[in-house]
Amino acid sequence: MAGRRQLRITIWNEHVHELRDDSVKRIYPDGMHRPIADGIRRELGADVTIGVASLDEHEHGLTEEVLAQTDVLTWWGHAAHDKVDDAIVERVHRRVLDGMGIVVLHSGHHSKIFRRLMGTSCNLRWRSDPGGEREVVWTLNPAHPIAAGLPQPIVIPHQEMYGEFFDIPAPDELVFVSSYEGGEVFRSGCCFQRGAGRIFYFGPGDQEFPVYHQPEVQRVIANGVAWCAGAAPSNNESVRSGGNAPRGWYLHTTVT
């Protein structure tokens, strides 16, 4: 993806579970932000500069200066939504309306900023069984830039279940829908526009599973960052979706 303008990305990670829970430390010893950043660098290369911010920093690391120098913010939070200062939420909200993109991940659906941007409760059904369950992420719009270079479908072996009804406004564009072993479905890849800013919500990524180490998931996030920045190239890849499909064909998708 060489030749694009430099993208300035800030990865915001609550960074509570990795410090508190041994099960999460084992999966993400350097924090969930590390594999997210690694994936963005791999996919977008020299075209990006990346900073990391977290809850415990001054102003949660999201000062006026930091946000002014941010083209796209990614957001992961779960255990401490209520500890995010309302003044910082208002600051981020203003920047999105002014044109900063934001990629909201997994349990960030209940973050103050996402609920503020959506104007709804953003509630959903969920299930977190020991060991999780298989999530299959189906691409509904293979020509969308966020879907570029992805297998159809993406198979995530172990993940928390998120299911409908997901209380969000109708997305401007729906890129992915997920299905689960229990039979539930979920709108897991949703695009919105608020003011001058683009928003991408992506569902996978529970802290108890190594989802952000999966290259296909990393590519979705990187593609989402590029799309939110208005820097994603057109996606003209051919779509081979026809023909007879034996039961379980998608389970042969390679996961590395």
Whether 242 is in a domain gets the answer: no
Whether 135 maps to a domain, the answer reads yes
Neighbouring residues of 1: CB distance < 8 A, sequence distance ≥ 6: 43, 44, 45, 47, 226, 233
Domains: count for the chain: 1
- What CA–CA distance (Å, rounded) separates 19 from 175? 33
Report yes or no on 113 lying in a domain. yes
CA distance 86 to 64: 14
145 within a domain of the structure (yes/no): yes
**Residue 84 and residue 16: Cα distance in Å, rounded?**
12
pLDDT level of residue 23 (50, 70, 90 thresholds):
very high
Give the pLDDT score at 4. Answer: 58
Mean pLDDT of 16-24: 91
What pLDDT is stored for residue 242 in this prediction? Answer: 64
Q: Looking at residue 1, what is its pLDDT?
A: 43
Domain that holds residue 193: 7-235+247-252
Please list, in sequence order, all residues whose beta carbon lies within 8 angstroms of the beta carbon of residue 210, skipping any fewer than 6 positions away.
27, 28
pLDDT tens per residue, range 73-109: 999 999 999 999 999 999 999 999 999 999 999 999 9
Mention every residue, 6+ apart, whose C-beta is less than 8 A from residue 232: 145, 146, 148, 223, 226
Flag whether 228 is in a domain: yes
**Res 210: pLDDT:** 96
Q: Could you tell me which residue, 112 or 2, shows the higher pLDDT?
A: 112
Q: Which strand ranges, in their side-by-side order, compose the sheet holding 185-194?
A: 48-54, 7-13, 72-76, 101-105, 197-202, 185-194, 173-180, 133-139, 154-159
For 158-203, give the DSSP string: EE-EEES---SPPPSEEEEEEEETTS-EEEEEEEEEETTEEEEEE-
Name the least confident of 77-86, 117-126, 228-237: 228-237
Q: Is position 46 within any domain?
A: yes
Answer whether 9's CB lies under 8 Å from 72's CB.
Answer: yes
Query: Worst-scoring range by mean pLDDT, 142-156, 170-184, 225-239, 242-256?
Result: 242-256
In CATH, what number is assigned to the domain containing residue 44?
Answer: 3.40.50.880
| pLDDT above 80 for 231 | no
Q: What is the mean pLDDT of residues 105-131?
A: 97
